[in-house]
Amino acid sequence: GAGVSQSPRYKVAKRGQDVALRCDPISGHVSLFWYQQALGQGPEFLTYFQNEAQLDKSGLPSDRFFAERPEGSVSTLKIQRTQQEDSAVYLCASSLRSVSGANVLTFGAGSRLTVL
């Protein structure tokens, strides 16, 4: 597609449930990022893939968070045993970094997770 597509757009989960959030990046973009945005805050980095390789997962807040990109295109962010503090918008972004210059990320619309 023309842009980064995320699903579901909205997810309500009961505390303790597992959730899975999907991201379809822009075709041909080798880099894929997941960010978490809490209400009134800026996006916070979670993890980064280059093709299928997860090169940086330093931002994942706990071992309940897991991300994968098995074929180097679609990615899934999984949150196990959700807690109320996991409520946030989860943003996916992809990029095709130029040889020089800024790494411009193109973001999807996000998946808003509410944990009750």
Partner 1 sequence: DQQVKQNSPSLSVQEGRISILNCDYTNSMFDYFLWYKKYPAEGPTFLISISSIKDKNEDGRFTVFLNKSAKHLSLHIVPSQPGDSAVYFCAAGGSAQKLVFGQGTRLTINP
CA trace torsion 43, 61, 104, 54 (10° rounding): -160
- Within 44-83, the residues that bind partner 1 by CB under 8 A are 44-45, 48, 50, 55-56, 59
- Burial (CB count <10 Å: 0-12, 13-18, 19+), residue 54: middle
Full DSSP string of 24-40: E--TT--EEEEEEE-TT
| Residue 31 in the binding site for partner 1 (CB under 8 A) | yes
Q: Tokens 């894929």 identify what position?
A: 32
| 106 lines the binding site for partner 1 (CB under 8 A) | yes
> What is the nearest approach in angstroms of partner 1 to the Cβ of residue 115?
19
Comparing CB distances to partner 1, the nearer of 32 and 115 is: 32
Tell the smallest beta-carbon distance from residue 28 to partner 1 (Å): 16
The site for partner 1 (CB under 8 A) is made up of 4, 31, 33, 35, 40-45, 48, 50, 55-56, 59, 91, 93, 95, 97, 101-110
